Amino acid sequence: MNEVKQTTIRLTAKHSAIFFLFIWAFSGGVYLWVNNSLGEGYVNRINNSIERQNSTPLRQVEISDNAAAIATDITLDRLRNILILVNAVALAAIPLIAYRISKQTLLPLVESQKSQRRFIANASHELRTPLAVMLADLDWAKKKQRSLGEYQSTLSSTREEVLHMSNLVHSLLLLARLSAEAPNHMNALNITTIIDGEIKKKLTLAQLKTARIKFQLDNATVKGNGDLLAVAVGNLIDNAIKYSPDHSTVNIGLTAMGKSSLFSVSNLTNEITQKDLNRLFDRFYQAESHQGGEGFGLGLALAKQIIDFHHGEISASLSDGRLTITVRLQA
């Protein structure tokens, strides 16, 4: 944070200097212009103007050089006092304004830095756990001669942890890539086909959870990246199945609405509260009842980032114990 404060102070100094130079140049320019306008030849210009306006020489009005000089001095004194007052106020106000502008300029950078630190800390924690499990299993197997069944059990456990890490790293890399650049290959594609394909992939998971998938899909076309949208749709369906009670129903819908398409996934939940909704799409966030489970808290965050890159909208609502994730995509 010290670096941020130092940068803020440096920006404040630069902004203040720019504002001061502008105010001083403007004040000096105004004073010089008025002084020149009221200087030598001022009286002659007035008298010549009066002479042109009056057809009779007897009605001519002349202004003495002395009177004009006095009027000029009074006007310049007043102008000088006003400019001094304006510059004095600016001297006090400009640093405060410049500091506020500098803080606002650096605010996105500060938030990004905080998010990055949380991301690195959470990623390190998530990677540390499977590595610790793998080391413990391997040390146990190495300690003395084991039976074939024990070695197989160790290898199976280690393989599960490797898959766990592989899924995590894949999600982290995809998030990092999406943060760095917008998706390529944005084409018109049939979102109905993508959703139907992801539903079929999740049927085995639904059977294991004894959950029923009920869906109604309109035929709809959107502009986007098919691979990324498949990841987002798959994550939403996967999340709904994993965290719904046994023997419950997951409802999936797609409605074509002219210039946009509305996709929704709904599941019963006893664990998500209204408090969780505000952070549901944060990276690594898990509701208290989900912590320590098989997920990483990246599925919904990744889905949101993909939808954001497609200039879509994603939201979550909770009603009568049912969580509904709604996605709106442009046709």
Non-local CB neighbours of 209 within 8 Å, separated by 6+ positions: 241, 242, 244, 246
CA atoms of 117 and 103, how far apart (whole Å): 20
Q: Which residue would you say has higher pLDDT here, 161 or 185?
A: 161
Placement of tokens 């944005």 in the chain: 186
The amino acid sitting at 262 is L
CATH 1.10.287.130 placement within the chain: 116-180
pTM above 0.75, yes or no: no
* Superfamily (CATH H level) for 187-330: Histidine kinase-like ATPase, C-terminal domain (3.30.565.10)
CATH 3.30.565.10 placement within the chain: 187-330
pLDDT at 314: 93
pLDDT at 292: 46
Helix (H/G/I), strand (E/B), else coil: 210: coil
Instruction: Please give the torsion angle defined by the CA atoms of residues 116, 121, 124 and 128, in that order, rounded to the nearest 10 degrees.
Output: -170
Class of domain 116-180 as given by CATH: mainly alpha
Average pLDDT over the chain, rounded to an integer: 78
**Which of 103-117, 166-180, 309-323 bottoms out in mean pLDDT, i.e. has the lowest?**
166-180
Q: Which residue would you say has higher pLDDT here, 70 or 21?
A: 21
Q: Which residues of 187-217 are buried (b: 16+ CB within 10 A; e: fewer)?
A: eebebbebbeebbeebeeebeebebebeeeb
**Bridge-partner residues for 251, per DSSP?**
214, 266
pLDDT at 103: 81
Average pLDDT value for residue range 53-68 = 51
Tokens standing for 118?
A: 């949380």
